[in-house]
Amino acid sequence: MKAMKVFRYLRNLVVFVLVMILAVFIYDGYHRVQGTDRESNAHTTVEKRIEQGEDTLSRTDRIIRLFTFKEKVETALNQRVSKEHWVKGDVIPEYTKNALIAIEDKRYYKHGAIDVLGIIRAFYTNTIAGETVEGGSTITQQVVKNLFLSSKRIMSRKIEEAILASEMEHYYTKDEILTMYLNTVYYGHNYYGIYEAAHGYFGTSPSRLTLGQSAMLAALPNAPSYLDPYTNYKGAKARQKLVLEQMVDQGMITQAEADYAYKQDLGLVDE
């Protein structure tokens, strides 16, 4: 009886791994067809420097990274954001976190490091649309990619991303990973992390962000240059509206709160 349970566990584990690899392969294959698999999406010199280092990293160093993972995470975090600009998770408004989850990874607290269903759904949606309109990466995968990996979509990198994401969720809680994302993601205008973005765009601290401002910040990482609220206010507002709609659909806020947040002045700081 015990042997049967072990067999079933191993069988389910093998099936899961195979499905995960297949899903990653399908999603990566889509970008190969689109011709974007080897394009760099680095936004700044900081990201380009990290990407160049990643491109020259040996296989041995990649293996060593797995065995010294927490140390490597701390080093990478320090490269991205200074200690003075690090914002603790408990001072970030709940709706700021929810805005991010709503638009980037609505099942964040329900899946593991990899969301296979999300990858398949994104592949289907993007294929029907004929363009990339939905991502398949979880927030954990995005954190790993932001900290370590090249932005180029290459099959080997997607597999490594999945492995590192699993390591991330082994050592850190979902809340800790979410805080890492908010502190390291690129918001445009050379603003890394929510501290710089809140002060740079709105002249306020992260703890004092309004719902409307939070939705706007959640909108930017998708395309920080294109959605620049100073040069493409209409596009940025459209994405902000989408974030608010997603929050309503997921029961995070009411429709009245979303309408008020959308109409409220953002208080953008003059350039």
pLDDT tens by residue, 29-85 = 544 444 444 444 555 665 665 565 555 556 666 666 777 888 989 999 988 889 999
Which pLDDT value is given to residue 98?
Answer: 98
The alpha carbon torsion through 101, 103, 108, 114 (nearest 10 deg) reads -140
User: Which DSSP state fits 195?
Assistant: H
Token pair for residue 224? 């920080």
For the question of whether the overall pTM of this predicted structure is more than 0.85, the answer is no
Q: Where are the domains of the chain?
A: 44-263
Average pLDDT, the chain: 81
Question: CA dist 203 to 208, 209, 268, Å?
Answer: 10, 10, 8
- In sequence order, the 6+-apart residues with CB closer than 8 A to the CB of 138 are 105, 108, 111, 113, 114, 115, 118, 165
- Give the per-residue pLDDT at 36: 41
Q: Which two tokens stand for residue 78?
A: 């320090």
pLDDT above 90 for 27: no
Answer whether 250's CB lies under 8 Å from 102's CB: yes
Quote the strand ranges of the chain, DSSP E. none
Task: Confirm if 30 and 126 have CB atoms less than 8 A apart.
Answer: yes
44-263: CATH topology is: Penicillin binding protein transpeptidase fold (1.10.3810)
pLDDT digits (tens, 9 = 90+) for 116-162: 887 777 777 767 766 555 667 899 999 998 888 755 555 566 778 88
Kindly give, in sequence order, each residue whose CB lies less than 8 Å from that of residue 212, ignoring residues fewer than 6 positions away.
240, 261, 262, 264, 266
Q: Cα separation of 158 and 206, whole Å? A: 32
Mean pLDDT value across residues 2-7? 59
DSSP string, 86-143: ---GGGS-HHHHHHHHHHH-TTTTTS-S--HHHHHHHHHHHHHHTS--S----HHHHH
